[in-house]
Structure 1
């Protein structure tokens, strides 16, 4: 078996590192393809070295550019590699342009696509990430899904439960793996050393980069007004160059930078950032991945967004959506700082993304598909079976698998009277409502 992995951005590299480890550990043939959209040393050569994973076999060097130009160049480069390497499956992770390019090219070449972190939905089609993740899911063969809630998103869109594998999220594996590496080497960034982070109290780590926040003067002003009043906290803000430029254009950068409790620093490396967040009392962010990391390292998160494709973190109690609302930011931040019971509930929220064995479950599933010939993409040889779509309330004591075998059916959705359930093989569906395809 040969597995190809397409990587584009830092979050993809971070989350795929445990899967790469697992592939190498099992002696499976691996081809690493880096699209090169992050083209400086921090984002490429040194980053792979820092995370102790092999350098890519191929770097396409697409650089920056518009969505269309970048995706097109990636597709061209990835296609050349896949034609030469002929992998059995191509793994892509998340929702970037590299994910879209890799999935489209592989599927057109009739190579199986495995989507790691499949099924996430923000239901906001103004987000390019939402378009990428939906398009990728349409082309995929295997879906490696972080939570039952994400699996239900795919079931609702008509995907077969047979291809949905709930693995947890590799962010948990990655946090454990990379925090160990980070602590061994200590802080390397000079600005963090100068701030003496190890002895600093009440740290609030801030990240803010999304266009809906930083490009909207009213929203970003509201956030900054809240930051002004959070003077009980030491706010560490590794600022994205684009965010800095926008704040300067609005006349807000100096206003923020002059606050004694706000420490604006240049962007820092991932391992230093992971250490910083692990020492924080609170994370204030508009990032998607950081919502997952926060609940994994037991740090309360307030998310500067009005929706999230990580709703499980909110349901679990480790994350609160505050948008750009000054009042909501202040009230929740102050409760986390001053109300120990409230803060402990957030810190001790059960992690919905698993216990750190997602990489093992992912590669186990791929091996099983390969061994059973399920990665082969072929034109159908059987005449299509007709079927009816049905709904029924189940009165007998029967599992999903038993119902499907007895009725020559495929169950799509299960409702237990309170919530939707994932139709696992061994789920007993007595007194539950199901929708299913009945084959003739």
Structure 2
């Protein structure tokens, strides 16, 4: 009988896949583990792109998404289907990352079977259960019973300790997103063709400062998205800038952005990027406008200031370090702060040169060691 520890890693979205593939690689290459992978496919197309570049073939693909599926329907399906996989695999540990519906459902399914949960990127808190929604509650739920909490920063660790999580179960590991970014940047350096798809836009916008942009948060649907589009319209009127915007597949994003921004000379609305191309976008951008969580961690690793189009962030370390700034979804505020970074060299340099607090590229190895010793 094998003495190797069986680990089932469960994820469903593109950001989870990016942040977990370094750990999946580490577990697969480590003789201490029998590593298995289950995906819910909460993001189908964008998830598959990451799996392909990372060379990961899931052992279980649940393919849970259906058109117009509600959050409660998705949660119920994920809970039941992940439960079936747990019954089949009977792992020693389940690993989840972050704060998606897949994370919460997978962790609860494990709890129901008394399987210990390792929560990667544990302890992020905005303090507002509606921002980000539903992610803030998802991660709080997992944080209430996970057996191993891999906090990316001391701030995240302290948030867990304030919630009376046992100190002996909380470890500061850094964020695996920095492992992933270093890995893919090296790959693109060795094989430039992996990210050659942006070369036409790079030529088209030569001589302009590129603003990279992402937006997809549920709490911004509706008025927030309209305000963001208004800000982009105003920024695009500047002749010295160009906006490259990979538009999320969600129709609540696409409908607004296509209606408001399509046809503007200085705006490129493009399909979602695979990971090598997104890393390239970070690299060529002067700054990032985003409501994403991961971009707040990734962009500073490449020295790019981040303006966060949200009212709160569960990554206050970036705000404290000066790598990111909250601007909300008010069009005037977005335009004002972006203009400041474009026109004030000292303000730009202060953010671009700030220390990135999110990791050193060795987080996956630390987490593997914790799983072996737990």
TM-score (norm 1): 0.77
Q: Does the C-alpha gap of structure 1 residues 69 and 39 become closer, same or farther in structure 2, counting only changes over 3 Å?
A: same
C-alpha separation between the residues in 1 aligned to 2:11 and 2:116? 17
C-alpha separation between the residues in 1 aligned to 2:23 and 2:259? 43
Matched, 1:213 2:220: yes
C-alpha separation between the residues in 1 aligned to 2:268 and 2:214? 12
Matched, 1:233 2:241: yes
Aligned match of 1:291 in 283, 286, 296? 296
C-alpha separation between the residues in 1 aligned to 2:301 and 2:244? 20
Q: Does the C-alpha gap of structure 1 residues 340 and 6 become closer, same or farther in structure 2, counting only changes over 3 Å?
A: same
Matched, 1:150 2:156: yes
Any residues of structure 2 matched to 1:38-437 within 5 Å, and which? Answer: 38-40=43-45, 42-44=46-48, 46-52=49-55, 54-64=56-66, 65-126=69-130, 127-186=133-192, 192-196=198-202, 199=206, 201-216=208-223, 219-220=227-228, 222-241=230-249, 242-247=251-256, 253-369=258-374
Q: Residues 159-213 of structure 1, C-alpha deviation per residue, up to 9 Å, x if partnerless?
A: 1111110111111111101122233333567862322359554110111222333
Q: Residues 288-319 of structure 1, C-alpha deviation per residue, up to 9 Å, x if partnerless?
A: 11111111221111111111011111111010
1:123 partner SS: coil
More helix by share: 2
Structure 1: 4+ residue segments shifted above 4 A: 187-191, 197-200
C-alpha separation between the residues in 1 aligned to 2:254 and 2:290? 18
Root-mean-square deviation (Å): 2.1
C-alpha displacement of 1:235: 0.7
Q: Residues 256-301 of structure 1, C-alpha deviation per residue, up to 9 Å, x if partnerless?
A: 2232211222222222111111111010011111111111221111
C-alpha separation between the residues in 2 aligned to 1:23 and 1:189? 27
Structure 2 gaps, min length 5: none
2:171 partner SS: strand
| Number of residue pairs aligned between Structure 1 and Structure 2 | 362
Larger radius of gyration between Structure 1 and Structure 2: 1
Where relative contact order (Cα < 8 A, 6+ residues apart) is larger, the structure is 2
Q: Does the C-alpha gap of structure 1 residues 187 and 343 become closer, same or farther in structure 2, counting only changes over 3 Å?
A: farther
Q: Residues 307-347 of structure 1, C-alpha deviation per residue, up to 9 Å, x if partnerless?
A: 10111111110101111233332332233223333222211
Q: For residue 10 of structure 1, what is the aligned residue in structure 2?
A: 14
8 Å contact from structure 1 (residues 222, 324) kept in 2: no
8 Å contact from structure 2 (residues 92, 116) kept in 1: yes
C-alpha separation between the residues in 2 aligned to 1:201 and 1:224? 15
TM-score (norm 2): 0.90
1:328 partner SS: helix
